[in-house]
Structure 1
């Protein structure tokens, strides 16, 4: 099987050379697309979706407005790509932790720790989720689905814990799932607001999430 794959790869490379390296062009296109997404994450986080302009994003990545439209024909298409990119990264990280046998709630804490190293991503989320409470916002449906998924999955894990005797007495899995997600999102806002304060006054999102989980989970 390996030799077949190598052979197929070599044949593909030969075809690319014969056709003037379209494979290299494709790689350059993907790299530029990634650069646009990263610039969009920063700008959407800084000013929100509505105030951001495609021309400003194009300028930040050193390309023309028509050139950017070649990759993302509309502002909505770019927003959707940014949100998909963020969710893909977060879900891949969470899935990798779970695949290693990490407990679900420990994996959530790890996700929060990683977000503590990704200021622009946290700014993006907090800016867009506030705007997207309006039903007319292009990301409204995305965030509705996100919260349904996040609360539902966390509730399932809490219900499993309850069946195994892993929840403290009186803890309701459905309500606690909402509390966990609300805490994670609220901590991000407090963390951003305290970033420029002296170290003792800053917010440790992961530590605060751990402290709450100790109140509801039984070791």
Structure 2
């Protein structure tokens, strides 16, 4: 799910990777990124070593560090590559309202064909809750941005006012639409774990569509019918 990570200056980001000049060097950098993606997905950040990544890429550890100054920077670059791929698939303009919710279902459908990316995200997001993990800020910002996007989409698709005065607040004054957005994100992440463990028993797109449709029906103002994702 493409989300623009905006850290609001809370942390100092590491210096970016070197910019290769020759086509051969640019290809070598891409090869390192893809090797690191596979390694982090299989072993996690903490268990994967630069030496292992270098060996799998046919380089020395110094060779990897020539392109990426640290293991943390390599991880950041892998995550940025994943985001860029998602953004290119989404297109220049982010869909809104019901179209964005349909995009979430389409993403779940597409994820069933890219196990490596799903495994990478699942392993690293779980790992990022540990102290001083280099991807912690990335995932915190990603969830924050995604939560805002899904909340806005639910309001628009349900015909609810953008200012939150929609009567969906809970007894404690919390926003029911935000709770629904959190539920959708949690369902999608949880489905990925189940699918990785037993892909034949889980249809991520169908389950995501069911949950979104049910929540839209629960949030919709009284009236005939209600919105659905239309999948």
CA distance in 2: counterparts of 1:91 and 1:176, whole angstroms: 24
Decide whether the 8 Å contact of 2:98 with 2:156 is kept in 1: no
Match of 1:179 in 2: 183
Match of 2:122 in 1: 126
Decide whether the 8 Å contact of 1:43 with 1:52 is kept in 2: yes
**Per-residue Cα deviation, 1:136-195 (whole angstroms, up to 9, x for no partner):** 111111110000000111101111223369xxx969321111011111111000000103
Match of 1:163 in 2: 159
* Cα shift at 1:76: 0.6
Match of 2:221 in 1: none
Match of 1:65 in 2: 61
CA distance in 2: counterparts of 1:161 and 1:25, whole angstroms: 47
CA distance in 2: counterparts of 1:214 and 1:187, whole angstroms: 16
Structure 1 segments (4+ residues) deviating >6 Å: none
* Cα shift at 1:70: 0.9
Match of 1:148 in 2: 144
Decide whether the 8 Å contact of 2:187 with 2:208 is kept in 1: yes
Decide whether the 8 Å contact of 1:49 with 1:128 is kept in 2: yes
1:192 lines up with 2:196 in the alignment: yes
Decide whether the 8 Å contact of 1:55 with 1:65 is kept in 2: yes
- Structure 1 gaps of 5+ residues are 1-23
CA distance in 2: counterparts of 1:72 and 1:153, whole angstroms: 32
Q: Considering only aligned residues, what root-mean-square deviation do their CA atoms show, in Å? A: 2.4
The within-5 A match list for 1:8-157 is: 26-95=22-91, 98=94, 103-157=99-153
CA distance in 2: counterparts of 1:144 and 1:158, whole angstroms: 21
CA distance in 2: counterparts of 1:178 and 1:117, whole angstroms: 25
CA distance in 1: counterparts of 2:108 and 2:177, whole angstroms: 21
Decide whether the 8 Å contact of 1:112 with 1:206 is kept in 2: yes
1:204 lines up with 2:203 in the alignment: yes
Ranked by relative contact order (alpha carbons within 8 Å, sequence separation 6 or more), the top structure is 2
The number of residue pairs the alignment matches comes to 187
- Structure 2 gaps of 5+ residues are 1-19, 162-166, 170-175, 217-225
Decide whether the 8 Å contact of 2:122 with 2:193 is kept in 1: yes
Q: TM-score, normalised by structure 2?
A: 0.74
**Per-residue Cα deviation, 1:179-213 (whole angstroms, up to 9, x for no partner):** 11111111000000103xxx4xx211011101112
CA distance in 1: counterparts of 2:94 and 2:126, whole angstroms: 30
Structure with the higher helix share, 1 or 2: 1
The more displaced of 145-154 and 113-122 is 113-122
